[in-house]
Amino acid sequence: MTEKQSIDEDTLQQLRKKLSTFMEKNGLRSTAQRRTVTDVFLRATGHLSIEELLALVRDRDPKIGYATVYRTLKLLKDCGIAYERHFGDGVSRYEIAFVDEHHDHLICLECGKIVEFENEEIERLQERLAAEHGFTLKRHTHELYGVCADCAATS
């Protein structure tokens, strides 16, 4: 698993294109607030909560309300450029949905660190399991909770 780097311009363009197409198709408007929230989201890394996103957004425009952040992230999710995640702490977190990429998560129960993983074999087994039960698989959630090496060393 490589470290998360800031997103390259090509990918950024691709995601923005996806958003603008979606907005056009649905008669939605490009506003300063939406541009700010979207830009903050796309340039951030990790798995951010609404609260964290709002703080970043307000660095640029302190007048933006949290309802706007909620509404904009719903939009980003609906157009397919954001994934909404739930790691059991009661808040929704958002991360960029890269095209043709999928991963699941390892979460440290002590420090909250989130590590992404991909495993082709598990994906295949999931498909097979679903098929065996007559299900057409649409999506899944798969989170591994444990204690990371750093935390194990500290305690």
Partner DNA sequence: CTCGATGCAAATGCTTTGCAGAAAA
Partner DNA sequence: TTTTCTGCAAAGCATTTGCATCGAG
Positions touching DNA (CB under 7 A) are 27-34, 49-50, 61, 63-68, 70-72, 74, 90-92
Cα separations in angstroms, 145 against 1, 92, 103: 17, 17, 15
Taking the least distance from each CB to DNA, the nearer of 68 and 148 is: 68
Taking the least distance from each CB to a copy of itself, the nearer of 20 and 119 is: 119
Task: Select from DNA, a copy of itself, none the partner in contact with residue 92, using the beta carbon and a kind-dependent cut-off of 5 to 8 Å.
Answer: DNA
What SS3 class is residue 108? strand
Q: How far is the CB of 4 from a copy of itself (least distance, A)?
A: 14
Task: Select from a copy of itself, DNA, none the partner in contact with residue 145, using the beta carbon and a kind-dependent cut-off of 5 to 8 Å.
Answer: a copy of itself
**Residue length, the chain?**
155
Let me know the angle formed at the C-alpha of 17 by 15 and 18, rounded to the nearest 5 degrees.
65
- Tell which positions 116-135 bind a copy of itself, by CB under 8 A: 117, 119, 121-122, 125-126, 129-130, 133-135
- Look-up of token digits 């299900």: 135
- Look-up of token digits 């950024």: 12
- Tell which positions 76-105 bind a copy of itself, by CB under 8 A: 86, 88
Q: How far is the CB of 155 from a copy of itself (least distance, A)?
A: 11
Task: Select from a copy of itself, DNA, none the partner in contact with residue 115, using the beta carbon and a kind-dependent cut-off of 5 to 8 Å.
Answer: a copy of itself
Question: In whole angstroms, what is the distance from residue 102 CA to residue 98 CA?
Answer: 8
Question: In whole angstroms, what is the distance from residue 41 CA to residue 52 CA?
Answer: 10
